[in-house]
Amino acid sequence: MADKFSKKWIVILIVLVVSGVLAYKYWKSTQSALPAGIVSGNGRIEAKLADASAKEPLRVEEILVDEGDLVKPGQVLVRLDTVTLEAELAKNEAAVAGAREEFAAANAAIAEASAAIAEANAGVATANSAIEKQQSEIRLAQTEADRQSRLLAENATSQATFDVRQTALETSKATLKSIQAQADAARARASAARARAATAQSRADAARQQIEVAQAQVKVTESRIKDATLISSVTGRVLYRLVEPGEVLGPGGKALTLVDLSDVYMEIFLPSDQAAALKIGAPARITVDYEPNKAAAASVSFVSPEAQFTPKQVETKSEREKLMFRVKLQIPSELVMHYLERIKTGMRGVGYVKVSPNAKFPQWLEKGLLNPPTNHSSGTPN
């Protein structure tokens, strides 16, 4: 009799436990049930990757960050050895200085030749003026000699007077030839000075080109030296440290791989009927498996125009055999920056989106919702 009584209570207890478990599961299912107009898909937190790479083969001198470190735009990550580049820069700078000296010497030669040209031209001008004066004197001497010749023919003057006039005429002509020779010499000097000036100008032009080429080489080398300091272009986290000091990176060789935390998102996959109802900018919510009771605000930033099989890690094999549309849920950058220390890519979770503008997210998604901070908010994230 006692055994029957004990068995009866054991059965009752088992029934109560099973009923409680079923009731709890039913309650949980009602709590997590999605209202009409809200759909969901599995995914994981993702972000774009950025590499800190060398542009040319150089030896790694120093690495300033480790895997897991947060980095900011402009932060120095890696320094590469620039000894050879600095020697090349010194050589290029010396070439600039030499070309400038040559340019200065050529300009000095131009100035000297220009002065010689001016002096020679002044000599030509003086000679031309003297030639005109001498030609006038020759005409006067010729007139006087002709007059004395007529007078001598008429025995109206003496031979001595005629000879004086004739000698004066010949002297004037000889003086003219001397002045003309001086003018020709001045022209020759001016021509030689112009030739020297042209040569010096060619030197100056060549030196100017050498200066420009050398300065361009200096800028290129300075740019190469600058590129030897690898800096972060993003706000992110160091995902992989791929080299160590002393190793040589080839052209395009990666020293670090960064996770760009300014562009954090989750990709989910939805069937065609649900994807067709989505609009870019539609509100979304994201939860992660390790903390399902908190959701982050997001929005639809992309809906694939082509269907595809879902990735292996997203759903079961039966689901992967279906054609789905990839949907990107973008987390606002302000929210990411506010919770930067807690963002971890690769975390699995669930994305929820509105396919109907009048739909409302369930209360369990809105409770504890993480929104981008306002300008008046302060303090640390919870």
> What does the DSSP 8-state code read for residue 368?
T
Query: How high does pLDDT run on average in the chain?
Result: 83
Decide: 328 and 302 in contact? Cβ < 8 Å. yes
Which of 183-192, 215-224, 245-254, 293-302 bottoms out in mean pLDDT, i.e. has the lowest? 183-192
Nearest Cα neighbor of 208 from 288, 134, 106, 310 is 106
Name the band, by pLDDT with cuts 50, 70 and 90, for residue 31. very low
* Helical (H) or strand (E) element with 318: helix 317-320
DSSP states along 251-278: TT-EEEEEEEEEEEEEEEEE-HHHHHT-
Measured distance CA(143)–CA(135) in Å, rounded: 12
Measured distance CA(164)–CA(288) in Å, rounded: 130
DSSP states along 18-38: HHHHHHHHHHHHHHHPPPTTE
164-214 pLDDT tens trace: 877 877 887 788 788 788 778 878 887 887 888 888 889 889 989 999 999
Q: Which two tokens stand for residue 282?
A: 């539609």
Of 104 and 157, the structure prediction assigns the larger pLDDT to: 104
Decide: 243 and 20 in contact? Cβ < 8 Å. no
Measured distance CA(309)–CA(162) in Å, rounded: 129
pLDDT > 90 fraction of the chain, expressed in percent and rounded: 38
